[in-house]
Amino acid sequence: MASLTDLFEFLSSPNPSARQIALQNLVGHTPNTAAQRHIFVPSILAPLASAGQAQSNGASGGGLLGGGGWKMTEDDGRKVQGIRDLMGMCRDQGVIAHDALSALINLSDSFAVARHIADDRDYLVWLVSYTANPTSPLSPLTSMLLSNLTSHTALLPSLASLTIPVVPLPQSKTYPPYYLTASASASSFRHPDFRDRMLNQPDAGVGQGEEVEVEGLRALVQAFEDGAGEGVVKGTGKRKGECHFLASVFANVSTLPATRSLLLTPYSPFPNPSTFPTTSTTADASTPSDADMVDAPAPVEPEPLLSKLTPHTSHPDIIRRGGCLGAIKNIALDRGCHAFLLAGEGDRVRLERTGAGLIVRGVDVLPAVLGPLMGGEEYDMEDMEQLPVTLQFLPPDKQREQDSVLRMMCVEILLLLSTSYTGRETLRKRGAYLVVRELHKVEKERNIVDAIERLVGLLQGDEGRETKDDLVEELVKDHAPVRAGTVNVAAEDVSAPQAAAIGEDEDVVEV
């Protein structure tokens, strides 16, 4: 299709109309079902730009993602340049940026493309900053692109640990009290109180501070929270985009132990610098951290990012619910985190998974997991008092989770928590059996019924010395980490991308 490939040269044209027309004619060929999609996808061996720079500096190049020692063919060179042109067009005026992001979303389900996107750190910093910027109207699309990129395991560590520049504006009356300086784009706005020190003297009235580097993941969690706020859909909320697909990013981040710890580490409210509790433990890091919970008062202190995700397991949007439940399930696969996941409000937990053996504030996930399984059934007062406070006296019209995949995920989380003695004891004391008993009466999916019966067997069984040490490892082996499926924007509906369901594998979801 020479006529299509000839359009690539216009993607970098200084004429906006030429860029827009070329892109409009190309974007429809980027979905994974398009016959001519191959004109965009380079060979998996095509060298990365960073590999070429490393070789020119005398290094071997290639790195983790490969490419070192391979020469770029003319065909691959054109395709890689096309990808880079699309990346540059994401900062263009709104219509062009929309189509460029749609094309990259479709193409990034291929690792051969995603590795070239992730190789450009400056672009990733912009992508995260733009997504987190409350004035970014295309943040739902950039959230989808981040979801696709984090679905590739090899790219996950560098993406999850990315830092972005932030300028605090603590006295500003305009939300947010900071500006993400790398988010600049023709489709978004700069914070009205921000002043570039190279051009203007900062306004002392807003307390503009020096630019600092903060964790990009924290910025995304803040955007995710704000996206669920009141008025966002109508355009009167804290931000312009709901960013539902960031839930898929968090589910993907939780699949690897190295990146999972980022969701468990306590942080100060964004964008304050990271601070950690000063109390640590000298316990051997190899000891199972089903450790004793430490009673302590509940002062204002840093919170783990996971605590900001758990409220969304009952959100109306299925992508939010599924991604947050997926993150909880992935963390529950690690038995050493069970005490952390079941900590009450006044409990502090010794968490080796942060790498420093800290005693930290845990996250009580039980209300977030049991809530979707509950309907409007009535409980005896004695039984109700066992339930988490937020699940007592629910209205009679309370609806259970309608999606069977997510109901199953909730039961699987309870099963995983039951693989440790700490988990089983906590579930017994806090009414988990009562909830699944009522669910069992109405559940029609056979696989969920079977899972409930396995759970009841664990919770109702007698505990002896042997069972207190029993890890029930076979249950953990039965469960693979939840990874969000990649997203494609259908060619016939490229102007209105829809949500794709959360899956438990990397199957592409065609919308």
Please tell me the pTM assigned to this model.
0.87
CA distances from 247 to 150, 306, 485 (A): 11, 11, 12
Contacts of 14 (CB under 8 A, 6+ apart): none
CA atoms of 210 and 271, how far apart (whole Å): 12
Q: How confident is the model at residue 344 (pLDDT cuts 50, 70, 90)?
A: confident
**pLDDT at residue 69 tops 70:** no
Instruction: Name the band, by pLDDT with cuts 50, 70 and 90, for residue 352.
Output: low
Q: Which residues contact 202 (CB under 8 A, 6 or more apart)?
A: 195, 208
> Which has more pLDDT, 288 or 93?
93
**Distance separating alpha carbons of residues 285 and 306, to the nearest angstrom:** 22
Kindly tell me if the per-residue pLDDT of 428 is higher than 80.
Answer: yes
Q: List the chain domain ranges.
A: 2-255+484-510, 267-477
Query: Which residues sit opposite 303 in a β-bridge?
Result: 267
Q: 322 φ, ψ to 5°?
A: -65, -40
Q: How confident is the model at residue 200 (pLDDT cuts 50, 70, 90)?
A: confident
CA distance 476 to 349: 22
What is the tens place of the pLDDT at every residue in 217-239? Answer: 999 999 999 999 999 988 888 99
Structure confidence by residue, pLDDT tens digits, 79-99: 999 999 999 999 999 999 999
The first and second tokens of residue 266, run together, are: 């306590």
What's the rounded Cα separation, in Å, for the pair 263 and 332?
13
Q: Is the pLDDT of residue 287 over 50?
A: no
Partners of 294 in the beta sheet? 348
pLDDT of residue 356: 55
Give the count of alpha carbons within 13 A of 226, CB side only. Answer: 24
3 state DSSP class of 488? strand
The token duo for 249 is 């990013």
**What is the rounded distance in angstroms from the CA atom of residue 467 to the CA atom of residue 35?**
57
**CB distance 471 to 290 below 8 Å:** no
